[in-house]
């Protein structure tokens, strides 16, 4: 199934992706490797409370399935202001917590090379969890990515930015975030 079709599936997308990915890997390797499912959902926290923004009434759900050192990550956003339909927004897993009004608290992107001590770290969609999405006319957004690493546990954040992610990993001001803790 393509990402586009998953997006059209609306509210079932996150559950569907988990269902598709999970049983297959769990049964294909009984007793081997480890599988961890991380999930989070709720109202987005406003990182710019002084200004009206397109995510002020939005909520999101995240599911991350880690298996044998790889991860499938799905992000679904709802309640995005309709005025930004068609726009692309950057979103990433950041190392720090999601704190209302304090975008800096989330710290930098989670980067597997940095965690591994590789200098300089590569910055791309294989070393970081990039979850850019397009706001739809229905006020939703959907992103799915697979990465060849399993982010380490912590109090972390999915941060949504004002611009799409550029090749250097930059995406402009931080607008909102979803806390993810495991």
Contacts to Cu ion by CB under 5 A: 92, 159
Q: Which residue is nearest to Cu ion (CB)?
A: 92
Give the nearest distance from C-beta 148 to Cu ion in angstroms: 20
Write down the least CB distance from residue 120 to Cu ion, Å.
18
C-alpha 88/C-alpha 77 separation (Å) is 13
Nearest to 110 by CA among 77, 72, 155: 155
Going from the C-alpha of 96 to that of each of 26, 31, 51, 99, the distances in angstroms are: 30, 33, 23, 9
CA distance 35 to 85: 36
Cβ(92)–Cβ(130) under 8 Å?
yes
- Nearer of residues 67 and 92 to Cu ion, judged by Cβ: 92
Beta strand pairing call for 133-134 and 59-67: unpaired
In whole angstroms, the minimum distance from the beta carbon of 154 to Cu ion comes to: 16
Minimum CB distance to Cu ion, residue 159 (Å): 4
**21 or 103: whose CB is closer to Cu ion?**
103
User: Minimum Å distance from CB 42 to Cu ion?
Assistant: 19
Which of residues 33 and 107 has its CB atom nearest to Cu ion in the complex? 107
Strands 155-161 and 141-147: unpaired
CA 139 from chain centre, in angstroms, equals 17
Query: Residue 120, preceding bond cis, omega within 30 degrees?
Result: yes
Closer CB to Cu ion, 6 or 176, in the complex: 176
Decide whether 6 or 159 has the Cβ nearer to Cu ion.
Answer: 159
């Amino acid at each position: 199934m393509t990402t586009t079709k998953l997006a059209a599936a609306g509210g079932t997308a996150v559950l569907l992706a988990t269902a598709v990915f999970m049983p297959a890997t769990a049964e294909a390797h009984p007793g081997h490797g480890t599988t961890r499912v991380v999930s989070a959902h709720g109202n987005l926290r406003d990182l710019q409370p002084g200004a009206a923004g397109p995510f002020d009434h939005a909520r999101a759900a995240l599911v991350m399935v880690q298996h044998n050192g790889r991860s499938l990550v799905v992000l679904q956003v709802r309640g995005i202001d309709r005025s930004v339909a068609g726009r692309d927004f950057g979103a990433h897993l950041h190392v720090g917590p999601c704190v209302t009004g304090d975008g800096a608290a989330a710290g930098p992107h989670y980067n597997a090379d940095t965690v591994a001590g590789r200098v300089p770290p590569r910055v791309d969609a294989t070393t970081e969890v990039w979850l850019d999405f397009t706001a739809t006319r229905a006020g939703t957004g959907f992103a799915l990515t697979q990465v060849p690493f399993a982010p380490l546990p912590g109090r972390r954040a999915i941060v949504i930015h004002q611009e799409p992610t550029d090749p250097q990993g930059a995406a402009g001001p931080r607008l909102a975030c979803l806390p993810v803790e495991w």
